[in-house]
Copies of this chain bind each other. A is one copy, B any other.
């Protein structure tokens, strides 16, 4: 990883490093001496500005991976694994803090009723209060904390009540979305996607012993496909909360994963079949059944957590 340009700075340069690694990967597939794509093409491919691409190009030249020849850039040597920046450095401070904060919360390090101060969190996570203050409203949106004006934030806790409330809304939304799904024509994009997802479910079911770790991604795609068809920004937005919660909860609650995956796959298939048959009654039944299972899994994992780390404090409001 040799650019010699990691001075210090206030903004961090995760975008640069991510793009650098991206270009590096592109170089890997090119023969020696091949010409690089234009700056415009690269910026489009990596979804960053041309400014960043130019900085990356300069870095790659400095590292001896590219060389300039009459304006064009050519591959001078193939990149080594060592040329890339460590993955950790390719995510912004903000994203890192969000992840760490959620992990910390879901790990049960603090109990319901705990007061969070921005200043302390900033110290704890080694960033400025700016970043913390940017994220707290986000977690409020998740229903995890509550603001006291001019003062600290109240942590409401990942409690059974939280699970119940989130699932109450989730069920309303998913049922509503499912109903709009059956109104779409068979040849619409969501229907095509759903048939693919069904096939993937069968494949995964066959190789469940080895591949059950691939389930979360499939789960997300199924439910998102359903939610998308509701074509309602508030419903989609809410699914982002669900999605986040599951992502982090899954990492925590690894017990029994294979068995739970099997159950979920089975329930999903019933749900999908009902959807594709446009059988409203069966959809309702399958959907409710699946969400009920999912909710008890979440509740069980919350219970477990409360037993493992018995809330360090419990000062009421």
Where the two chains meet, the residues of A that have a C-beta atom closer than 8 Å to any C-beta of B are 15, 48-49, 130, 133-134, 137-138, 141, 143, 150, 156, 165-166, 168-169, 172-173, 176, 231-235, 237-238
Find chain B residues with CB under 8 A from A15 CB: 150
Q: Are B234 and A165 in contact (CB under 8 A)?
A: yes
Q: Are A168 and B133 in contact (CB under 8 A)?
A: no
Q: Are A169 and B234 in contact (CB under 8 A)?
A: yes
Q: Are B133 and A234 in contact (CB under 8 A)?
A: no
* Closest-CB distance, A118 to chain B (whole angstroms): 12
Q: Are A232 and B165 in contact (CB under 8 A)?
A: yes
Find chain B residues with CB under 8 A from A232 CB: 165, 168-169
Assuming A133-B134, A143-B234, what are 17 further A-B pairs, CB within 8 angstroms?
A: A15-B150, A48-B150, A49-B150, A134-B134, A137-B137, A137-B138, A141-B141, A156-B233, A165-B232, A165-B233, A166-B234, A168-B176, A168-B232, A169-B235, A172-B172, A172-B176, A234-B238
* Closest-CB distance, A153 to chain B (whole angstroms): 14
> Could you list some 22 contacts between A and B, CB below 8 A?
A15-B150, A48-B150, A49-B150, A130-B130, A134-B134, A134-B137, A137-B138, A141-B237, A143-B233, A143-B234, A143-B237, A156-B233, A165-B231, A165-B232, A165-B233, A168-B232, A169-B234, A169-B235, A172-B172, A172-B173, A172-B176, A234-B238
Docked pose: A134 CA to B165 CA in angstroms: 27
CB nearest neighbor in B for A143: B233
Chain A interface mostly: helix
Total identical chains: 2
Find chain B residues with CB under 8 A from A231 CB: 165
Find chain B residues with CB under 8 A from A141 CB: 141, 237
Docked pose: A32 CA to B231 CA in angstroms: 65
CB nearest neighbor in B for A172: B172
Find chain B residues with CB under 8 A from A138 CB: 137
Find chain B residues with CB under 8 A from A166 CB: 234
Find chain B residues with CB under 8 A from A172 CB: 172-173, 176
Docked pose: A200 CA to B169 CA in angstroms: 32
Find chain B residues with CB under 8 A from A48 CB: 150
What 7 A-B pairs have minimum CB-CB distances, sorted nearest first?
Answer: A165-B232, A143-B233, A169-B234, A172-B172, A165-B233, A168-B232, A141-B141
Interface centre among A48, A130, A176, A234 (most CB of B within 10 A): A234
Docked pose: A137 CA to B168 CA in angstroms: 25
